[in-house]
Amino acid sequence: MAFVRICSWNVNSVRARLPLVERLVAERAPDILCLQEIKVETDAFPRAAFRAMGYEHEAIFGQRGHHGVAILSRLALNKSESIDWCGLGDARHISAELPGGIRLHDFYVPAGGDVPDPDLNPRFAHKLAFLDEMIEWAKGLSEPTIALGDFNVAPLACDVWNHKALLSVVSHTPVETERLERLRAAHEWHDAVRAVFTAPQPIFTWWSYRARDWRASNRGRRLDHVWLSPDLAPALVGVEIVEEARGWERPSDHVPVLVDLDLGS
DNA sequence: ATGGTTGGGGGCCAA
């Protein structure tokens, strides 16, 4: 095993973003790609393109039009499975076991709509219920675990461009950030990105498509996360937020998050 | 306070 580079990336359609995934692979060579919002049915996933890039192992859970997650790997993947959060059948989670018995969980947490009130907005209620289910699930975990993906929550004040303004904006409201912290604490996960880019340094992984100039206004949020269970925390070697990918042609609104681990022999 | 853009799938919805 030794060194393993893992990438988490909400690609906002894997078919639309294939050239950018190929560029990332050429330039950064991750061993494992964890994608979210692939927006394609499992059977229509462009497997051949990933095999051509050297990813021979796959765990894919797609869905027509919406959501969808996939793990593509140069290392063997075993016992892949998905949990049906909130019983809706949504393709928002896939997990697989890596060599060495590490379980890797790839999440696409609901965005939650616009209105931050669960009584008025069913999407926000769904997001909170989804996080509540994750908290209960995490309490029962024991194995070495990596949880990553688009959590759609920016937990810290320095994870958004304007903390006070975003306290009432879905993704940074107290009910969400408190839940995310309870989830993290439930398995004592280590936030790999914040272990390297420590607070209060602002770090973002998402910039809206709607900005005239995303780089100039820099109104970003850190919605994408990579968490390591305590036994894996010492394996952390490095992190890169591939911010430049937001400026590539026809970009996703999220950028890749790379985490390097030294898993020893 | 509002609108701004993108992708999928078909003639708007979700993000």
E strand or H helix that includes residue A165: helix A163-166
What pLDDT, in 10s, does the model give residues A71-92?
Answer: 999 999 999 999 999 999 999 9
Q: Which nucleotide is nearest to A126 (CA to C1')?
A: B14
Q: Which nucleotide is nearest to A44 (CA to C1')?
A: B8
Q: For residue A99, what pLDDT is reported?
A: 95
Q: Could you tell me the distance in Å between the CA of residue A113 and the C1' of nucleotide B10? A: 23
- For A23, the token pair is 């560029």
Nucleotides of chain B in contact with protein CB (under 7 A) are 3-9, 14-15
Beta bridge partners of A93: A107
Q: Could you tell me the distance in Å between the CA of residue A43 and the C1' of nucleotide B8? A: 16
Owning domain of residue A114: 3-262
Mean pLDDT (chain A, rounded): 97
Q: Which nucleotide is nearest to A16 (CA to C1')?
A: B7
Q: How many domains does chain A have?
A: 1
Which CATH number is A114's domain given? Answer: 3.60.10.10
Neighbours of A118 (CB within 10 A): 16
State the average pLDDT over residues A210-231. 97
Q: Could you tell me the distance in Å between the CA of residue A261 and the C1' of nucleotide B6? A: 34
State the average pLDDT over residues A50-57. 98
Q: How far apart are CA A132 and CA A241, in angstroms?
A: 28
Q: Which residues touch strand B (CB under 7 A)?
A: A 12-13, 15-16, 37, 39-40, 64-66, 110-113, 123, 208-210, 250
What pLDDT, in 10s, does the model give residues A166-178?
Answer: 999 999 999 999 9
Q: Is the pTM of this model over 0.95?
A: yes
Asked if residue A62 lies in contact with residue A45, where contact means CB atoms within 8 angstroms, the answer is yes
pLDDT band at residue A264, thresholds of 50, 70 and 90? confident
Neighbours of A16 (CB within 10 A): 13
E strand or H helix that includes residue A221: strand A220-221
What pLDDT, in 10s, does the model give residues A98-149?
Answer: 999 999 999 999 999 999 999 999 999 999 999 999 999 999 999 899 999 9
pLDDT band at residue A186, thresholds of 50, 70 and 90? very high
Does A1 score more than 80 pLDDT?
no
